[in-house]
Amino acid sequence: MKLKNSLSLSLDKFINLSLYDKNHGYYMKGNPFGKEGDFITAPNISRLFSEMIAVWIISFWQSLGSPKKFNLIELGAGNGEMMRVLLESFENFPLFNKSCNIFIYEKSPSLINIQKRKLKKNKIVWISKIKKFKKEPCVFIANEFFDSIAIKQFQKKQNLWFEKFVRINKKRSYFFDKKTEIKKIEKKIKFQISKNQNFIEYSEKGINYLKEISSTIKKNMGGLLLIDYGYVSNKMKNTLQAVSNHKFSNILENIGNSDITHNINFNLFKKIVKGIGGLDTELTNQKKFLINIGIKKRAEIISAKQTFLKKADMYLRLQRLIDEKQMGSLFKVMLIKNKNNKFKLGF
């Protein structure tokens, strides 16, 4: 990204510029997913993952009393691979399929074009804002969505709080700290985020998404299935990282050509949801979630008619999804739902 003048930006504004600038933003220019991109998400590793999500969605719909109309909203559909498998799976359940209105929330015009080429456009409505759905129950699916939203970082030094900023210029870009009043930040987000912390990392926009979605669930029934890499701890930590060509890269180099991401603090998410009231959360890791739904049994059924090579390939991909040294433990799965819904499939 070429700049005529030097810039000083808070970390979240810098990340937004890097990822979502209309002309130069990482997500706005092309397709970062798959072997040719910079990273591979679970739906692109194996269709078994998306099939399990389809089973979960249909089961959750049944837990709501199989409503004749409900909304399914995928948040950030990537290259459309998961939605493609979901649509194929839903065709086997005519009553569900007829009841389901499908939306994709996507900011990137280039990714929308990729999704539209891959998917049945007549079945899906693309939205650029998470609009407030007024009546029907809503089921939100967020696979690696929240990790891609810009974050802020703060550090406590001698009882004073400092916010991380970025200075961008032609010669060299660098981080620097600016003194801040943490009470004003907490008043803005309506949450005492600094309590028992020496370091803070959070996404202001991510929290707003979480609150808006949770309020919709509380009002209209439904739920949010959130799958992302993250950790469960009271203490926050620095998880900021950049990825380019399947490798970690320098955040301040090659701006606009690397993915910038972070790990979700699921404990923080739980506290925010609890503050809304009337909602419950369930939390597990990806390994337990997929196995509990039946991914191993599904693999056995499919592999029965496969050649040795295809069978080996499928089980290699399955292992990548559930192995605790790969995605199985690092990736967490959270469900947010109304308190009176005791649904627990996968958890």
Indicate whether 291 belongs to any domain. Answer: yes
pLDDT of the residue at 52:
98
Alpha-carbon distance 315 to 321, whole Å?
10
If 0-12 CB within 10 Å is exposed, 13-18 middle and 19+ buried, where does residue 304 land?
exposed
**And the tokens for 249?**
């890269």
Total domains in the chain come to 1
For tokens 């802020």, the residue is 152
Whole-angstrom distance, CA of residue 176 vs CA of residue 165: 5
DSSP state of 339: T
Nearest 10 degrees: CA dihedral of 38, 39, 45, 48?
-130
Strand ranges for 14-123 from DSSP E: 70-75, 100-105
Contact 177, 164 (CB under 8 A): yes
SS3 at position 216: helix
* Inter-residue contact 262 to 151 (CB < 8 Å): yes
CB-CB neighbours of 300 under 10 Å = 11
Residue type, 332: K
Phi-psi region of 80 (alpha: psi -120 to 50; beta: other; left: phi over 0): left
What are the φ/ψ torsions at residue 130 (nearest 5 degrees)? -80, 85
Please tell me whether the overall predicted TM-score, pTM, comes out greater than 0.85 for this model: yes
What does 101-168 look like in DSSP terms, one character per residue? Answer: EEEEE---HHHHHHHHHHS-GGGEEEESS-----SS-EEEEEES-GGGS--EEEEEETTEEEEEEEEE
pLDDT at 300: 93
Domain that holds residue 310: 20-151+204-338
Q: Residue 31 has what pLDDT?
A: 57
- Amino acid letter, 292: N
Is the residue at 197 inside a domain? no
Contacts of 258 (CB under 8 A, 6+ apart): 18, 26, 38, 242, 243, 244, 249, 251
Residue 30 has what pLDDT? 60
Residue 77 lies in a domain: yes
Coil vs helix vs strand at 342: coil
The dihedrals phi and psi of 41, each to the nearest 5 degrees, come to -90, 165
CATH number of the domain bearing residue 133: 3.40.50.12710
Query: Is 179 in contact with 218 (CB distance < 8 Å)?
Result: no
Separation of alpha carbons 240 and 235, rounded Å: 15
How many CB atoms are located within 10 Å of the residue 305 CB?
8
- How confident is the chain (347 residues) per 10-residue block, as mean pLDDT? 71 90 75 56 94 98 96 94 96 96 92 90 87 86 95 95 91 89 91 93 95 93 96 94 79 83 95 94 98 96 90 93 93 97 96
DSSP symbols for 54-82: HHHHHHHHHHTT--SSEEEEEE--TTSHH
Q: What is the pLDDT of residue 254?
A: 77
Q: Is residue 257 part of a domain?
A: yes
Cβ neighbours around 331 below 10 Å, total: 22
